[in-house]
Amino acid sequence: AQKVTQTQTSISVVEKTTVTMDCVYETRDSSYFLFWYKQTASGEIVFLIRQDSYKKENATVGHYSLNFQKPKSSIGLIITATQIEDSAVYFCAMRDYNQGKLIFGQGTKLSIKP
């Protein structure tokens, strides 16, 4: 069965530093897709970045990047030069190739301090 686990409940860092959020997943499929979303204080869920399992290169979008370690079933999110507005809850999610539904982790609350 599919499962996504985020063990970090909350993280607090100082503005302009780099933060890494962990995520591990379980799947029997050889092809799958991994996503990171953030949920703002207003409740809005925003797509950030994705990694397709067959791609070896780590995805990068703006100041978000991924650390994809396929043998470890791990997909970490790295945010560089953090800003106050990065404060949010971050969700890791996966989708098997032949399924439509996303399976979400429990979320990690990120607080950025000035």
Partner 1 sequence: NAGVIQTPRHKVTGKGQEATLWCEPISGHSAVFWYRQTIVQGLEFLTYFRNQAPIDDSGMPKERFSAQMPNQSHSTLKIQSTQPQDSAVYLCASSLDLGGAGDTQYFGPGTRLLVL
For position 60 contacting partner 1 by CB under 8 A, the verdict is: no
Q: Cβ distance 75 to 51 under 8 Å?
A: yes
Binding partner 1 by CB under 8 A: which of 45, 61, 81, 84? Answer: 45
In the complex, the smallest distance separating the C-beta of residue 57 from partner 1, rounded to whole angstroms, is: 15
Interstrand relation of 74-79 and 19-21 (parallel, antiparallel or unpaired): antiparallel
For position 97 contacting partner 1 by CB under 8 A, the verdict is: yes
The DSSP H or E segment spanning 95 is strand 88-96
Binding partner 1 by CB under 8 A: which of 10, 18, 44, 63? Answer: 44
CA distance 85 to 103: 26
- Which stretches of the chain bind partner 1, using CB under 8 A? 33, 35, 37, 42-47, 50, 91, 93, 95, 97, 99-107
